[in-house]
Structure 1
């Protein structure tokens, strides 16, 4: 299937993504037809202010739409002070960054702790918190993820190293990424520290199709509270390794090796040069990673948000492998 090429838009207001969203049943739309294709019954329709009704996708009859307004209710209930940075597309995908007051120092920069949630109305980007699906987070053995927000380029940086127990385990796993070869996924869970809150056993095993909005918000309250109580995770220590200087003229070679489209690599190179000048800093893996992250989440592309995050994860691990050498 071909997808529209979109350029993520950025906003700091919930109202820009909390427009009405509803299900329109195919049987109601076509009452005079016998519908044989029963796997797709539900049209997901948004009422975007100032525009026509938008059909974002066609889902199965038991699919539950998660309205962005339901997410806002829980965030506002649990977090009294935050900055909102949302990237969204005309195709109905959303990356919602809740920037918290707490900061951590990385390479001389003050980086904010954050919560990053994804959602979509087209079904292409699943709901997630810190890059982890709702189903995986309801497993008490799953390590909580993290994210940080960098004001300089409005980057949300996901904690891709967080599934690992320590740097030794992570560095050992990184050997598979040498030269850009991807041999297996990071662990989805490991021997995790005790979670600050335990999800009730009767609601652990759920699927998107079985959700009600009330049940979703119940899960979300527990999970957000857990993430807010969590300490800084392994990824912040990996960022310390990212401060290592990139060898002279090696950045072009590294960019060509990264698993991103050539046009995005070109935009990342331009962003990298700009940040070197702005910060008057030497070229480091930290600047290189942020430049690629910036290009991934600002460039016009047919990539979904889910695609962009998966590429960002691969880039993170590949650059980490270089920085540990």
Structure 2
């Protein structure tokens, strides 16, 4: 789904995204009108500091907005030391990157373990943790992906291969995925054995049914505690594989083959050259992946945050498949 063109902004302050937000019923706002559009009954209104009240969306009666202040409260409670980096749009979408102290090496680079939460006030991007919806993660068979932060270009990288038991299983799936013109569905999460029970009937989705903030807060807290257990992920192995694969003359047209809009591909090509100079290295699949990631999450586009993450995942798998070929 596409909508108004927007360019993500960067901030390292919670204050820029933790302004008051509330639901305002149309019937209260327009008491002298009979409202027959029953599929849209409430406005999501934010009070941004220094600005007028902003209407981010008009939603159904059972829509529940998740204030960023609640996310901040849980993060501050559980994580004593972290660095914050937020990408957000003026249309009310937020990608919140919690950067942890743990460091991993990919080639000569240092990456930090991180936690990525996405949220929105316009309904375009459902609340998600590490790229997975809240209801998916509440299932007892779910596994929480990892993520890493790359300081060179301030990229937040999701663990797109973390669903797999090992590299061999991932390579087998990549072969099937490539053969099916990249239309194969992702496999289900592997069982973790760490969660018991299923989501209560009161939690079926986060944006389409009633959900109290207290219930949300408790489940988010439990999920974060589970994630904060130190664990190396398969995706970090794939990063190392991409880093070892140098780009050669036969890869000259590779960027044109990736599923990103032409304008973003052009910006990715420019970013790739910039990183080669910054790091004083030749081009590799690792640098190319990060260049595309950078273009996706910093450029003006009509893509929603969900669209950007979806394309990022496709590019990751496509480059991984080629690196193993």
Alignment TM-score, normalising by the size of structure 2? 0.95
Q: Which SS does the other structure have where 2:139 is aligned?
A: coil
Q: Is the 8 A contact 2:22 2:46 kept in 1?
A: yes
Shift of 1:207: 2.1
Residues 1:193 and 2:192 are matched in the alignment = yes
Q: Deviations over 1:174-200 (max 9, x none)?
A: 11443892121211323x2332x5467
Q: Which SS does the other structure have where 1:153 is aligned?
A: coil
Q: Which SS does the other structure have where 1:123 is aligned?
A: coil
Larger deviation, residues 218-227 vs 174-183: 174-183
Equivalence for 1:135? 135
Q: Deviations over 1:288-315 (max 9, x none)?
A: 1000000000000011101000000000
Q: Is the 8 A contact 2:10 2:86 kept in 1?
A: yes
Equivalence for 2:48? 48
Equivalence for 1:181? 181
Q: Which SS does the other structure have where 1:3 is aligned?
A: strand
The two structures, once aligned, show a CA RMSD in angstroms of: 1.7
Residues 1:284 and 2:284 are matched in the alignment = yes
Distance across 2 between alignment mates of 1:160 and 1:9: 24
Residues 1:206 and 2:243 are matched in the alignment = no
Q: Is the 8 A contact 1:8 1:298 kept in 2?
A: yes
Change (3 A) 1:79 1:204: farther
Distance across 1 between alignment mates of 2:218 and 2:51: 33
Shift of 1:3: 2.0
Distance across 1 between alignment mates of 2:307 and 2:247: 30
Equivalence for 1:101? 101
Equivalence for 1:149? 149
Distance across 1 between alignment mates of 2:289 and 2:57: 33
Larger deviation, residues 247-256 vs 231-240: 247-256
Q: Is the 8 A contact 2:142 2:192 kept in 1?
A: no
Equivalence for 1:20? 20
Q: Which SS does the other structure have where 2:248 is aligned?
A: coil
Shift of 1:2: 6.3
Distance across 2 between alignment mates of 1:115 and 1:217: 16
Larger deviation, residues 222-231 vs 178-187: 178-187
Equivalence for 2:266? 266
Shift of 1:210: 2.6
Larger deviation, residues 310-319 vs 31-40: 31-40
Shift of 1:205: 4.9
Distance across 1 between alignment mates of 2:150 and 2:202: 33
Q: Deviations over 1:32-80 (max 9, x none)?
A: 1111111110100111111121111111111111000000000000000
Matches within 5 A, 1:1-325: 3-178=3-178, 181-190=181-190, 192-195=191-194, 198=196, 202=200, 205-208=203-206, 209-325=209-325
Moved >4 Å (runs of 4+) = 197-201
Q: Is the 8 A contact 2:93 2:125 kept in 1?
A: yes
Q: Which SS does the other structure have where 2:244 is aligned?
A: coil
Shift of 1:250: 3.8
Q: Which SS does the other structure have where 1:317 is aligned?
A: helix
Distance across 1 between alignment mates of 2:250 and 2:64: 48
Q: Is the 8 A contact 2:2 2:304 kept in 1?
A: no
